[in-house]
Structures are given as C-alpha cells and as structure tokens.
Structure 1
C-alpha cells in the first residue's frame, strides 16, 4: 500500500468515526433516560463541588455537578476574627503597631526619623535601625496575638458524647436496603430517614414517569424540579415519554451527612433496579430501552429544613 492509499484509508476511518459518534451518544443517552439522565445536577450546599466519599454501594467517584445554581467558590464563610487583620484590631497592640508603622513611613517620606538630626549618613542608618525595630515589634506582637487566640481544643481529646465512626461499624442490613456506609456522619441519620429515602426513590421515579410536575414539587427542591421540567419538555418536543417502573432498591448506604446553617443534608449511594424505556407518544412503540430490568447506581443528596420533610436536592451518576 503506497502513501496515497494509506492517506485514503485514514480519511475513510475518520469519516466512519464521525458518523458513528452521534449514534454512540444516542445509545448512551437511551440507556440513561431516567430522572437525572445519567448525569449530575442539583446542589449540596457548600459541598456541591466536593466529591462525596465513596461507599460500599458506590465505590467509584461520583460525577462532578454539571447543572447547578450553586457557583464554584460559594462556601460557608470562614471563622475569622471580627475586624480583619492585626492592624485593624483596636486596643494597645493595634495602636502601637500602627504608630510604629506611621513613624517609619514619615521617616521615609521626610528623610528624618529616629536619628534624623545627626546628618544625612546617620539618618540613613537611623532609618534602617528604625525599620528593623518596627519589624521586630510587629513580629512579636503578631506572635503574641496568635498564641492568645489559638484554639484551646486543638490537642484535646474528643468529647465523651461524640458520634462514633459509622464506617467502622458492622453493616446491619446487608444485601437489600440501607447499610451503614463509609462516611462518618456528624448528623445522625435514623432508620426512619432511610425508609424515607427509599420511599422518595420510588415516588420520584413514578412522578417522573407520569410527568406529574406538581407531585415532583412535593418531593424535590425547586431547583431539581426545574431540571426535571426541562428534561420532560425536551422529551415532549421529541414526541416521546420516558416510562420508569418496577423500581426496587437493592442496596444503599450513607456517604455523608451534615448540618449547614438551618439545613440538614444527607448524601446516600443507591443501587437499584428498574425498567427504563422511552416510547413514542402517538404509537406507544419502544424507541429506547426495553422491558428488561436494569441495575443502576446513583448518589442522591436530600435536604431538610427545620420542621420540614426530606427533599431531593441533587443526583450524581457514578
């Protein structure tokens, strides 16, 4: 095969790959037509762009958020002393440091300073000594302030009522339902909460299949409902409807749970089976998926406000 023939073969392969790519994307999208579409969307508070810890149910990393109203960098404010840095603090040390700094600047501006009256050469040496003294005083004052404000609990033993590491406990419900998981949860998740997560899994899938947006509003956050509505609208424009049925939780465990302000979050890994098919609205003919149950693994995050019920706030594929 000469050079021109080889180039023609390369071009042919490139054309075939270009034609096959849309088909591959269509196949992958057909497999993930369920709520969430096999992607990642929603919000997890300040942990939206932090990967949930892996668990026995979902040992692989969850996909990063692709659709979220939370912007990268939006985090809970750091616990810093009021007033900002050292020079902004009132009191003796702040005034002393500011005074030395002001004296040094004035000395630099006017050519004088501590030894300003001893001649030009002495003024230069005086200015150097003065700057050195300012530096030493400021370093000493800052070190003193840091020691004074160091947290007293840095090396203390954990409190006697601290929650145990749930990841070290034995999974009490193997095989089906929720296990303990690998994440240590500052927020206690009780058996009733796990039952609620399992119920929401089925109810959300059913509401999605029925295109019942009003029902979805009672099960998920407004952000998640907006994404569901957008995807349902896209199906409607295509003239198809995604039907999900026979949802059964096979295994689930807790990845992490935490409090953030007045909200409580729980991220759980879910492995479940379902019948996922997309049919034509007019004829009912299956165009994607099948009647055969398939297994999928997702990571779902739920949020609860004071006095409220758990709501779905994020879905992340694995």
Structure 2
C-alpha cells in the first residue's frame, strides 16, 4: 500500500506546485525574455500605460556588461542558448522537491513510515505544505532580485491615433544606459507595433515557428519554441484570440550599432485559453471571458524603413 499511496501523494503535490506556474501560457509565458541591445540590463522608463517597474529578464542571450545586437543573437547555436530562472523546476527548491518525490517512489519516502488512510492524508498535507512553502520562497527570492526603475524618465503617449511623431531619447532604470542617438517614432511605427502584437499571438496560437521568425528575432523565436515544447510535454496547447490593443505608449527609442530600438508599453485584452490536446477541453483560461495584460515590448529594426522585429517582452510590476 505504501508505494501506490505515495505515488498519489506525489501526483497531488506536483499538481499543486504546477498550478501557479502554468497560469499564464500566452506568448512569452508571462515572464520576461529577450534582449534590448546595450540596455538589456537597464529598466525602461515608466509610462502612463505601465507606471510600474519593468521586470528584469528571466531569459536573455545578453551577458551583463556585453552589448548585444540582433546579429549576435543570430549566431549559430544561439537558438538553444541556456536561460536563467527557467521557473520553479529550474530552481533549487524544485530540485529538492523532485528529489524527495523520486526518493519516495524508489521506496524511501519523504517522511518515513506510515500506513492507512490517516497516514496518507497526513502525507498529502505535508507534501502540499512543503511544496507551497518552497514555491513561496522561490517567488520571494525572485521578487527581491527585481530592482525598481527610477521614477524619472520621459513619459510616453498613447500611440493609438497619434497624428505626429515625436523624438525620445535618454534612459532611466536599474543602471545608467549608454548614451545613444534618439530615434523618431511616428504613426506608422505605432501601427507596426500593434500589428506585430496581433501577428505574434496569431502565429503562437497556430504553433507556426515560420510565421514567428517573420516578426521576431531568432532569440525570441527560440524562447517561443521552448515554451511550446513545455506545453507539448503536458499534451497541452495555448491559443490567444481576438487580441485588442487598449492603450500603448513609448518608453524609449534609440539607435546603436546600426540598428534602431523602440521599447513600448502595451495594455491589451484577449481571449486566452490552454487546451488539453487529447480531450480538447480548456484546462486554463477561458474562450469566452476576456483577460487583460500590460507588458513592455522592445522592437528592433535595421535602420529607418526596416521591419520592426520583436526582440524582448517584459512583465510589469504594479505601480
């Protein structure tokens, strides 16, 4: 009885731990990924759309103190680059829990002996409690690593229907960003940002990596592919539909190493649902109730007139 009982315990604890991690499966996974050139480790200035601090990158191909360009991100092998902070099971706490579960399945258990229904309930409660505590500690540690952006910095403006371009320069954030030439961002650029938001979600929902390569840097495509594989490992898929930009404004735009960068805050609404491939039933989200998200997206292009490509997605903290 002990081994089957512990197997049920392990499965219950695993479900409890996974629940908060998989709550956001839209493009980017509800995390912060990508590169912003030499400003990857500098927080973009807050805006009216995203007054809270942008989170630091959980996954990036840019090493601290080493400016990265789109060309660097396209080097052979970069698509498989390792990324830090891959979530709970990439952390020390996850390793401890998984080690305990594996040990239990091999016959040693997490908490020693015990038999009968009461022992099973007690084991369930202990495993669930430890799993919850480990997850809480991991979240707290990651939260302390995120440093708030400076309160100063140029404010952006809602880019829906703006008739005139404006120039933006300078940078605020976790550390001083290198000085760079400002870039003029006009109505056509804002339309391009909104269009890319929709196209990224459409390609993600179809699991179409070819379409994603047309709108995002190779680095970002590699993260999308990994997130798709993580969902597929659970025999799940995520679909986002009817994406609508509600508000957006510019945080900063600059030029470096022959490329233009623009970081914009976007608040958008959408239908976001995760399906079980075997049953086609919704396991997370909803196909009828709209949800809203505020994210900071960075785009890069090869100079004026080029196509803006998504190079980073960052989550925002509450103001």
TM-score bin, normalised by smaller chain: 0.5 to 0.7
CA contact (8 A) 2:196 2:215 kept: yes
Give the equivalent residue in structure 2 for 1:305.
302
Q: 1:179 to 1:55 in 2, by over 3 A?
A: farther
Q: 1:313 to 1:25 in 2, by over 3 A?
A: farther
Give the equivalent residue in structure 2 for 1:117.
none
- Return the TM-score normalized by structure 1: 0.60
Does the alignment pair 1:46 with 2:38? yes
Residue from 253, 256, 266 that aligns with 1:257: 253
Give the equivalent residue in structure 1 for 2:49.
57
- Return the TM-score normalized by structure 2: 0.60
* Partner Cα separation in structure 2 for residue 294 and residue 24 of structure 1: 23
Q: Comparing both chains, which one has the higher relative contact order based on Cα–Cα distances under 8 Å and sequence gaps of 6 or more?
A: 2
Residue from 269, 279, 284 that aligns with 1:283: 279
Q: 1:272 to 1:179 in 2, by over 3 A?
A: farther
Aligned length: 209
Does the alignment pair 1:242 with 2:226? no
Q: 1:240 to 1:66 in 2, by over 3 A?
A: same
* Partner Cα separation in structure 1 for residue 273 and residue 163 of structure 2: 29
- Provide Cα deviations, 1:259-315, integer angstroms capped at 9, x if missing partner: 011010000000000111100112110111112110000000000013531100000
Residue from 216, 221, 224 that aligns with 1:225: 221
Q: Secondary structure at the match of 1:187?
A: strand
* Partner Cα separation in structure 2 for residue 39 and residue 286 of structure 1: 22
Residue from 151, 163, 168 that aligns with 1:184: 168
Give the equivalent residue in structure 1 for 2:65.
73
Q: Give the CA deviation at 1:73.
A: 1.2
Does the alignment pair 1:317 with 2:281? no
- Provide Cα deviations, 1:168-225, integer angstroms capped at 9, x if missing partner: x9x576xx66799999332100100000000000000010010000000000000000
CA contact (8 A) 1:213 1:229 kept: yes
* Partner Cα separation in structure 2 for residue 33 and residue 177 of structure 1: 30
CA contact (8 A) 1:40 1:314 kept: yes
Higher helix share: 1
* Partner Cα separation in structure 2 for residue 231 and residue 310 of structure 1: 23
CA contact (8 A) 1:179 1:252 kept: no
Q: Which runs of 5+ in 2 are unaligned?
A: 1-9, 69-152, 170-181
More divergent stretch after superposition (239-248 vs 305-314): 305-314
CA contact (8 A) 2:166 2:186 kept: no
Runs of 4+ in 1 over 2 A off after TM superposition: 18-31, 176-185
Q: Secondary structure at the match of 1:214?
A: helix
RMSD between superposed Cα atoms in Å:
2.9
- The structure having more radius of gyration, on CA atoms, is 1
